[in-house]
């Protein structure tokens, strides 16, 4: 009975996949820190592949002059096509991974994003600090978030950088990692194509209709992992310099339901409260549309978020990665696969 309790995690995930996930985390961390975001995009590499395949078609279908009902129908059909594509592709991919562990590792790597985010955030930090000449300091954040950073000042850019670092920890590591451990290559491919569609067409919940289906399916698959990600961020705030873990805990009952999931949800709340700042606020996307995002943070917190806040956010992000790594390694040890 006690052994069954200890090994409860084996009922919903395969511990033999943990080494692949760990190696993929190390490779994406090292490669990303060396090379930086590919073409300025710090999101998972596979999102770029999906964008090349489906981005243009999605833009053609997402016509702003259409009625909302028509756009919702088009968006739902588009998501169905993406899911069918993922199911068709995942079957041969799963067969290939049985023959070659290297292929499985490469697929997992393509679905994750770690080091490139740190590279981009550090570059943004140096740009805001104006320490020497740093070219393209804002470019990576603009490409990765699909936002027009000219619509906000440096405080707004810093807020968006912090928000992106928290959300990408969830969407670029924890959620795809969990789905990979549960269902292997097919599940991580399915989640990655849904999260791509949500990022590309969801507009953080401000879509005119076309991205509603993508947002709904991603929330269905990503809500529980986001709670785990938020818990990791809260734990990380306990060891990060100048962060306040007690305040971060307050976010779980005082701000959890105030920030829509599509705008960052508990991830954004945990970060804002731990740093004692106000995050969010209106910003324009690449199409020029205003995204009226809510403000989140403790009462009286300032929205004038500066570079040193970004530095603290980077530390929290890195520590959260380490805690996630420790958690899956612990599961691997308890599973008995390590011995």
Distance CA 170, CA 317 (A): 10
pLDDT at 4: 43
Q: Residues of the chain with pLDDT > 70: what percent?
A: 92
Task: List the one residue out of 289, 303, 45 whose CA is nearest residue 146.
Answer: 289
What H or E segment, with its residue span, contains residue 51?
A: none
Which residues are within 8 A (CB) of 245 and not within 5 positions of it... i.e. 6 or more apart?
234, 235, 237, 238, 274
Residue with the larger pLDDT of the pair 97 and 22: 22
Mean pLDDT of all residues in 317-333: 94
Mean pLDDT of all residues in 266-285: 91
173 strand-pairing partners: none
CA angle, residues 320, 189, 257, in degrees to nearest 5: 50
3-state secondary structure of 291: strand
pLDDT band at 247 (very low <50, low <70, confident <90, very high): confident
CA 184 to chain CA mean position, Å: 19
- pLDDT single digits (tens) 80-131: 999 999 999 988 887 777 677 888 889 999 999 999 999 999 999 988 887 5
Distance CA 80, CA 144 (A): 25
In this predicted structure, the answer to whether residue 256 has a pLDDT above a threshold of 60 is no
pLDDT at 338: 57
284 strand-pairing partners: 148, 290
Mean pLDDT of all residues in 256-282: 88
Answer whether 57's CB lies under 8 Å from 164's CB. no
pLDDT at 277: 92
In this predicted structure, the answer to whether residue 317 has a pLDDT above a threshold of 50 is yes
In this predicted structure, the answer to whether residue 132 has a pLDDT above a threshold of 90 is no
pLDDT band at 8 (very low <50, low <70, confident <90, very high): very low
Of how many residues is the chain composed?
339
Mean pLDDT of all residues in 8-29: 83
In this predicted structure, the answer to whether residue 6 has a pLDDT above a threshold of 50 is no
Is residue 199 classed exposed, middle or buried when 0-12, 13-18 and 19+ CB atoms within 10 A define those classes? buried
In this predicted structure, the answer to whether residue 224 has a pLDDT above a threshold of 90 is yes
In this predicted structure, the answer to whether residue 15 has a pLDDT above a threshold of 80 is yes
pLDDT at 250: 74
In this predicted structure, the answer to whether residue 133 has a pLDDT above a threshold of 50 is no
What H or E segment, with its residue span, contains residue 148?
A: strand 147-148
Distance CA 224, CA 75 (A): 24
pLDDT band at 10 (very low <50, low <70, confident <90, very high): low
Stretch among 174-183, 199-208, 294-303 having the lowest mean pLDDT? 294-303
Mean pLDDT of all residues in 32-41: 90
Mean pLDDT of all residues in 192-211: 95
In this predicted structure, the answer to whether residue 3 has a pLDDT above a threshold of 50 is no
- Please provide residue 55's backbone torsions phi and psi, each rounded to the nearest 5 degrees: -60, -45
In this predicted structure, the answer to whether residue 254 has a pLDDT above a threshold of 70 is no
């Amino acid at each position: 009975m006690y052994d069954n309790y200890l090994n409860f995690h084996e009922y919903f995930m395969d511990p033999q996949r943990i080494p692949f996930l760990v190696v993929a985390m190390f490779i994406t961390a090292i490669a990303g820190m060396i090379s930086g975001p590919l073409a300025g995009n710090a999101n998972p590499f596979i999102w770029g592949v999906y964008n090349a395949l489906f981005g243009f078609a999605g833009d053609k279908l997402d016509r702003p002059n259409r009625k909302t009902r028509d756009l919702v129908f088009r968006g739902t059909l588009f998501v169905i096509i993406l899911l069918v594509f993922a199911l068709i592709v995942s079957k041969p991919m799963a067969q290939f991974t049985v023959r070659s562990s290297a292929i499985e590792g490469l697929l997992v790597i393509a679905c994750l994003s770690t080091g490139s985010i740190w590279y981009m955030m550090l570059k943004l930090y140096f740009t805001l600090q104006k320490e020497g000449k740093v070219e393209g300091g804002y470019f990576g954040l603009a490409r990765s978030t699909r936002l027009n950073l000219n619509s906000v000042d440096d405080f707004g850019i810093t807020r968006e950088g912090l928000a992106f670092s928290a959300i990408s920890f969830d969407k670029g590591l924890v959620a795809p990692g969990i789905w990979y451990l549960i269902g292997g290559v097919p599940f991580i491919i399915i989640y990655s194509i849904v999260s791509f569609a949500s990022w590309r067409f969801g507009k953080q919940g401000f879509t005119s209709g076309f991205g509603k289906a993508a947002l709904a399916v991603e929330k269905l698959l990503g809500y529980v992992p986001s709670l785990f990600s938020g818990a990791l961020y809260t734990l990380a705030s306990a060891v990060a310099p100048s962060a306040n873990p007690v305040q971060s805990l307050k976010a779980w009952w005082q701000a959890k339901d105030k920030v829509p999931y599509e705008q960052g949800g508990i991830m954004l709340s945990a970060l804002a409260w731990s740093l004692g700042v106000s995050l969010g606020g209106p910003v324009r996307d690449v199409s020029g549309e205003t995204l009226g995002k809510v403000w989140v943070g403790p009462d009286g917190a300032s929205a004038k978020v500066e570079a040193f806040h970004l530095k603290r956010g980077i530390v929290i992000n890195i520590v959260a990665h380490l805690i996630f790594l420790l958690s899956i390694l612990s599961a691997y040890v308890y599973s008995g696969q390590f011995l």
